[in-house]
Structure 1
Amino acid sequence: MHTKLGIPYWYHSLANYTFITSFIKLNSSEMAAIADDELSSPAASEIIRKLTFPMKSISGNAFVCVDSAAPTDTERFENKSGAVFSPESALMVLAESLKVRTSIMSGASSFICIRPFRRMNHSREFRLFIKDGKLVGMSQYWLNKYFRKLSGSSSVYWQMADDFINEIAWLLPLNTLVVDIYFTSGGEILIVDMNQWGLPVDPLLFISWDNDWASAGGIRLIAPPMRISGNVNVSF
């Protein structure tokens, strides 16, 4: 990932357009404690101490990640959407994540990012594809479900996203990139994450990065399930 796309590097310019976030800078021994899953080390104890203050300021659960990776590959994320309550559980979920450990070992991450936990409606999460400062594509983020209510509102979502990018384009760290967003129930748009344009980032419903984005863009949603009616005979 481009270093400018890590949360600590764009947050100061776009804080009004994302989740309130606190940051902890990790030193080399603290990064090693997470990368090597050494949770009984003095460095791990120091991370827990540093996490205590920002997590105390959050009413309820928190969500933690590092600059360029979230622990979405962990059991806690699958079962609890990543919600953590204590500094100890926050450190544990980071150390359990191969994505997080790899990001730290590669030098792509050196901060822990702490946000209030928010249970998000998957139907309102999207990936935006921005080329030369303009929105050229938009994909439903979660591809495991058809959301009926999106079909009739796709043009509204597209227009809101287009207006949003036009408003913040001058603040983005790069002219060409991918931005993951969330539409709140109140109609606001919050930035969840940013990624580089191209592999290894998933183009989701655009399937491939080798598109003529000028003509193949727009918004893409999971198609409704196919229904078969009439006299259908199946034999094996």
Structure 2
Amino acid sequence: MAAGVSITAEEVCKCAITSWYKDFRDVTITSKFIPLTDAFTKYLLGDGGDVGLVLPKECSLANVIGDSDSTDSSVSWDDDDDDGIEPPSFPNTVEAIMMAITELGGAVFPKLNWSSPRDATWVAIGNTLRCTCPSDVILLLKSSDFVMHDLSRVGEYCGLDQTLVPPGGFSLCLRRWVPINPSGEFRCFVKDSQLIGVSQRDTSGCYPHLLSIKDQLMTEVVHFFSSNLLKKFLVKSFVFDVYRRGQADYQLIDINPFGDMTDPLLFSWSELCKLSLDQELPIVRLVEHAFHTIQPSDLIGCRLPKECSQLVNGDDDYVEKFVELCKSARDDIIAQHEKIDNTTPNNTTADTQ
């Protein structure tokens, strides 16, 4: 935890979208909520055993393919490839997801109480969080470490050694799909009911047009905060994300705890904690020069297989296991070739004798 920052379980729970959505529905994206059953939660966590990525049987092949135009007939979808694994069944959850997608216009953005599966876009068709069927949604949820964190480790930030379950339990939130230009997203930091900092949300991009309206952005964000959040969200310190759709036209995207659970982006938590509350206006921080302030995407590590990250990061235990695995595979291949050589009949003909 950053020095001087403490987060209570109550504050974390109030930042869950299931807690704040009703009060801010007029200034945020239209959403539907589906309570998660214990069985479905255990399925997402893999508590039923290490069976890999197996979608519920209600998710048909047509759902998996979604909007893909692929006609590659070389891909095998035979049942023989599943090693006899029986797909789980969640008819009520799958039906509820399908109904919500339809009611929200045919495309949605999924998240749980706190996090979205944005670390799992690599597994989705088109590398996007845009979902048009239950299979799209469940595939992202099942593939996401962020989702696993929501379900099992959020309590760590509050000093708890157990899972933090929000009021009403875990829920799947499906939000109407809205195309968002990353240059219009901003993260805003509130300490003791005062807006102290605003950061460009996409730290991997430099958007020169923002520099010319920096003061205007500050004024607009302060107005949005004062008009919509200051006296309505009853937590003294928190972080909120907004999207600028146009001049003085903002939409609330998310609310997060003020602390290590949330990425400070172009700030640091130690810096934010030291900012004086005497300042009248917040500090607005943008990526101003691509060649020295631009930061790599925080999701870059999610695009590699876990094993590659372990090797690159020099995980000694894993490197040793990987070397042993390679040696074992080499020995197996040599043994197979020797077996073939010993069992191959002599086909030499009389003409060559």
- 1: CA distance between counterparts of 2:26 and 2:218? 21
**Is the CA contact 1:132–1:175 (under 8 Å) kept in the aligned structure 2?**
yes
Matches within 5 A, 1:98-109: 98-105=145-152, 106-108=163-165
Structure 1 position 115, deviation (Å) = 1.0
Q: 2:189 — aligned with what?
A: 129
Aligned mates of 1:147, 1:98 — CA distance in 2: 30
1:217 Cα offset (Å)? 4.6
Farther off after superposition, 29-38 or 117-126: 29-38
Aligned 8 A contact 1:124 1:182 in 2? yes
Larger Rg: 2
Shift of 1:47: 1.7
The answer as to whether partners of 1:130 and 1:177 remain within 8 angstroms in 2 is: yes
Q: Distance in 2 between matches of 1:76 and 1:63?
A: 15
Distance 1:133 1:77, change over 3 A: farther
| Partner residue in 2 for 1:113 | 173
Query: Does 1:22 pair with 2:35?
Result: no
Q: What residue identity is the alignment partner of 1:197?
A: F
When structure 1 is superposed on structure 2, of 119-128 and 31-40 the one drifting more is 31-40
Question: Alignment partner for residue 147 of structure 1, among 184, 188, 207?
Answer: 207
**Cα deviation code 1:79-133 (max 9, x no counterpart):** 4430010012111111111111221233456000011111211111000001122
Specify every segment of 5 or more residues in structure 1 that has no aligned partner in the other structure, as ranges.
Answer: 228-236
Equivalent residue of 1:206, what SS? Answer: coil
1:167 is aligned to 2:227: yes
Secondary structure of 1:60's partner? coil
Is the CA contact 2:123–2:143 (under 8 Å) kept in the aligned structure 1?
A: no
Aligned residues: 226
Match of 2:112 in 1: 66
| TM-score normalized with structure 1 length | 0.87
CA separation of 1:66/1:172 partners in 2, compared to 1, >3 Å: closer, same or farther?
A: same
Say whether residues 1:56 and 2:111 are aligned partners: no
Q: Cα gap change, 1:18/1:127 in structure 2, threshold over 3 Å: closer, same or farther?
A: same
Identity %: 20
Secondary structure class of the residue paired with 2:91: helix
1:71–1:99 distance in 2 versus 1, CA, 3 Å: same
Cα drift, residue 197 of structure 1: 0.8
Q: Are the counterparts in 2 of residues 76 and 83 from structure 1 also a CA contact under 8 Å?
A: no
Q: What RMSD, in angstroms, separates the aligned Cα atoms of the two structures?
A: 2.2
Q: Is the 8 A contact 2:124 2:139 kept in 1?
A: no
Alignment of 1:31 with 2:31, yes or no, is no
Q: Which residue of 2 aligns with 1:234?
A: none
Among candidates 274, 277, 284, match of residue 219 of structure 1: 284
How far apart, CA to CA, are the structure 2 residues paired with 1:87 and 1:125? 27
What code does the residue aligned with 2:34 have? Answer: I
Q: Which structure is higher in strand share?
A: 1
Write the distance in 2 (CA, Å) between the matches of 1:192 and 1:38.
31
Amino acid at match of 2:185: E
Q: Give unpaired runs (5+ residues) of structure 2.
A: 1-8, 47-52, 56-86, 153-162, 293-353
| Aligned with residue 157 of structure 1, among 217, 221, 242 | 217
Aligned to 1:196: 257
**Which secondary structure state, in structure 2, belongs to the residue aligned with residue 201 of structure 1?**
coil
Q: CA shift at 1:178, angstroms?
A: 0.5
Corresponding residue to 2:244 among 183, 205, 223: 183
Residue identity opposite 1:26 in structure 2 = L
Preserved CA contact (<8 Å) 1:81 1:119: no
Code of the residue aligned with 1:49 in structure 2: it is E
Indicate how the Cα distance of structure 1 residues 46 and 60 shifts in structure 2: closer, same or farther if over 3 A, else same. closer
